[in-house]
A and B are shown apart, each in its own frame.
Chain A
Amino acid sequence: MKLKTAYMGEVEIETKNILKFEHGIPGFEKEKGFVLLPIEENSIFQVLQSVRTESLAFIITSPYAITENYNLELDESIIRALEIKNENEVAVFAIVSLKDTLDNSTANLKAPIILNTTNKKAKQLILDKQAYSIRHQLSLESTKG
Chain B
Amino acid sequence: MLVLSRKVGETIWIGEDIEIVISEVKGEQVKIGIRAPRNIEVIRGELRKDISDSNTEAVIKDLDLFKNMKK
Looking at A12-20, A62-70, A94-102, A114-122, the stretch in contact with chain B turns out to be A94-102
Q: Which B residues touch A76, using CB under 8 A?
A: 38-39
Say whether chain B's binding surface is mostly helix, strand, loop, or mixed: helix
Which of B49, B54, B63, B65 lies in contact with A102, CB distance below 8 A?
Answer: B65
- Could you tell me the distance in whole angstroms from the C-beta of A2 to the nearest C-beta in chain B? 20
Within 8 A of B (CB), among A1-19: 6-7
Q: Evaluate contact between A56 and B66: CB separation under 8 angstroms.
A: no
Q: Evaluate contact between A27 and B55: CB separation under 8 angstroms.
A: yes
Within 8 A of A (CB), among B18-71: 38-41, 43-44, 47-63, 65-66, 69-70
Interface size on B, residues (CB 8 A): 27
With A40-B70, A77-B41 already in contact, the answer to whether A126 and B47 are too (CB < 8 A) is yes
Which of A25, A43, A95, A128 lies in contact with B47, CB distance below 8 A?
Answer: A128
Q: Evaluate contact between B43 and A97: CB separation under 8 angstroms.
A: no
With A108-B51, A111-B54, A135-B54 already in contact, the answer to whether A7 and B40 are too (CB < 8 A) is no
- Could you tell me the distance in whole angstroms from the C-beta of B27 to the nearest C-beta in chain A? 25
Q: Evaluate contact between A98 and B65: CB separation under 8 angstroms.
A: yes
Instruction: Considering the complex, give the chain A residue whose CB is closest to the CB of B63.
Output: A7
CB-CB nearest 6 A-B residue pairs? A27-B52, A26-B52, A97-B58, A27-B55, A76-B38, A80-B39
Q: Could you list which residues of chain A lie within 8 angstroms of chain B, going by C-beta atoms?
A: 6-7, 25-28, 39-40, 43, 45, 47, 56-59, 75-77, 80-81, 95-98, 100-102, 105, 108, 110-111, 124, 126, 128, 134-135
